[in-house]
Amino acid sequence: MNTKENGKLKLSERLAYAIGGLPEVANSIIAAFLTMFYTDNIGLAAGMVGTMFFISKLFDGISDLVAGTIVDHTRTKWGKARPWLLWLSVPTGLSLALIFFIPQNGSSTMQLIYAFVTYNLYTTIMYTMTGIAKNALMPLMTQNMQERGILSTFAMFVGLGGTILGCSFTFPLIFSLGGDIKAWRTLFMIYGALVTIGLLIGFFFTKEYVQSVESVTNEKAEAVSFLEGTKMFVKNKYLVLALVMTVVVNLMVQLGTCSQTYFYTYSMGDPMLMTSLSLVGVVPTLISIAVLTGPCLMKFGKKKSMYIGAAGQMIGSIIKALAALSLNVPVLIVGTVIGGLATGPLSVPVATLASDGIDYGEFLFNKRIEGVGSAITSFSQKLSSGLAAAMVGWVLALTGYVANGVQNQATNIGIISLFAIIPAVLEIIIIILLKVFYHYDQEADKVLVELERRKEQVK
C-alpha cells in the first residue's frame, strides 16, 4: 500500500535520497587514500595495516545483520529508516574526521589501536547503520518500480560522481593545504561536515510513504529464521553464484581503488595522474552505465552482456599493465577509457543476480528470503573490500615497500599486479564462472510462469 498516488516522487525527494548516500562516497574515498596515509604519513607497517583492514571488514560485515534487524524494529513518527539519517548525521561526520587525528608521536601499538577503533567506529557502526537505513528507505518511499529505477539512477550518479571527484581532488586539496598531517585533518573535517549535511538533507527532504501489510491489516507473515534462511541460501545455486560473483567483482574493483595511490605515485611516478586519469575515466563510465548497458542487455541478454563487460575490462586492465611497464601515459589513458566503457555491461547485471536467485529460491522452497539474501550479499561485499585492502598491505610488506622512498623492482611489479594484473585474472575467473554455472537465462521463463501459477491457485 502506498499513501502517495502512483508512487511518483518529487525531484527534491529523488535528489535528497541520492545525497543521503554521501557516507558511502566518503567510505570509497578513504578506501583509496587511507592505506597510504597510514604508511607514508604516520609510518605504520603496511602488513599491519592490511591485516587491520581485513579484520575490520569481518566485523563490518557482521554489523550489517545487526543494523538490518535494528531498522526493522524501529518505530517512530518519522518511520523506520529516516530517523537513523537524523540521529547519526553528526556522529557519522565526526567519526570520519577522527580517523585522521591518529597521534603522530605515539607508539606503533597505540597508533594501531587508535586506527582500529576509529576506522571501525566509522565503517562498522556509523556507515553501516546509515547505509542500511538509506537502502531500506527506497522501498519505503515508493512501490512504483519505474520510480525506484529513477531513485537508483540518481543514487548511482551521485555516488559514482562524488567518488570520482573526491578521488580526483583529494591530493590537490591536501597539497594546497600544506601537504602535512594538518592538511589531511582539515580536509577530512570538511568531508565529515559534507557527510553530515548530506544525511540531514536525506532526512528532511524525504518521506516514508509506503505502509506494510502488517501495519494496515495487523496480519503477520510467517517469518523465516536467519538459520533457516541461511540453509535455503546454501541450497540455492543462483544465490551462491550471486555471492561468489559479488565477491570477485567487488574484489576486482576494490583492488584498483585501494592500490591506485601507490600505482600513480610510484609505478607511474606522478601522484597527480590520479586526478587526471580519474577525470578521464568518469565520462566513459557514466556513458557505459547510462547509455550502453540497456541496449546491450536487450540485444545480447544478461549472460552475454556480462561476458562483454568482463572481456572489455580485462582488455583495459592488460593495457594499463603494459602502460605501467613502459611508463606510457597515453596508453594508460586508452586502458582507462576501455575499462570505463565496459563497466555498465558487467556491473549492472551482476547487481541483479541476487534478485534472480531469490525468485529461484521461491521456486524451490516456496519462500522468499530477501532479508537474509541481502545480508549475506552485503557481508560478501565488505569481506571482499577488506580482503582487497589487506592484499595491498600484504603485497607491499612482502616486496619490501619503503614509504616515501624509491621502490625496488619487486615492489613496483607488486603494485602493478594489484592495480591491473590481478584484476585481469579475476575478470577471466568471472567469464569462467558464468560459462560453467550461470544458466538462469534459460530457466527464468519456467520459474516465473510456475510462480505465477501458484499465485493464481491461492486467489
Judge whether residue 9 has pLDDT over 50.
yes
* Number of continuous H segments (helices) and E segments (strands) in the chain: 21, 0
Judge whether residue 321 has pLDDT over 60.
yes
- pTM equals 0.71
| DSSP sequence for 216-240 | HH---PPPPPHHHHHHHHHT-HHHH
Maximal C-alpha separation, the chain: 72
Question: What confidence category does residue 96 fall into, taking pLDDT thresholds of 50, 70 and 90?
Answer: very high
- Contacts with 362 (C-beta within 8 Å, 6 or more apart), sequence order: 368, 451
Residue 402 in grid coordinates: 619503503
Judge whether residue 146 has pLDDT over 70.
no
User: Which domains does the chain show, CATH number per domain?
Assistant: 9-209 (1.20.1250.20), 224-448 (1.20.1250.20)
Q: What is the pLDDT of residues 17-48, one digit of tens each?
A: 999 999 989 988 998 889 889 988 898 988 88
Residue 237 in grid coordinates: 545455486
- Contacts with 320 (C-beta within 8 Å, 6 or more apart), sequence order: 332, 335, 336, 339, 419, 420
Q: What are φ and ψ of residue 2, in 5° steps?
A: -120, 125
Question: What confidence category does residue 450 fall into, taking pLDDT thresholds of 50, 70 and 90?
Answer: confident
Q: What is the pLDDT of residues 180-210, one digit of tens each?
A: 999 999 999 999 999 999 999 999 999 988 7
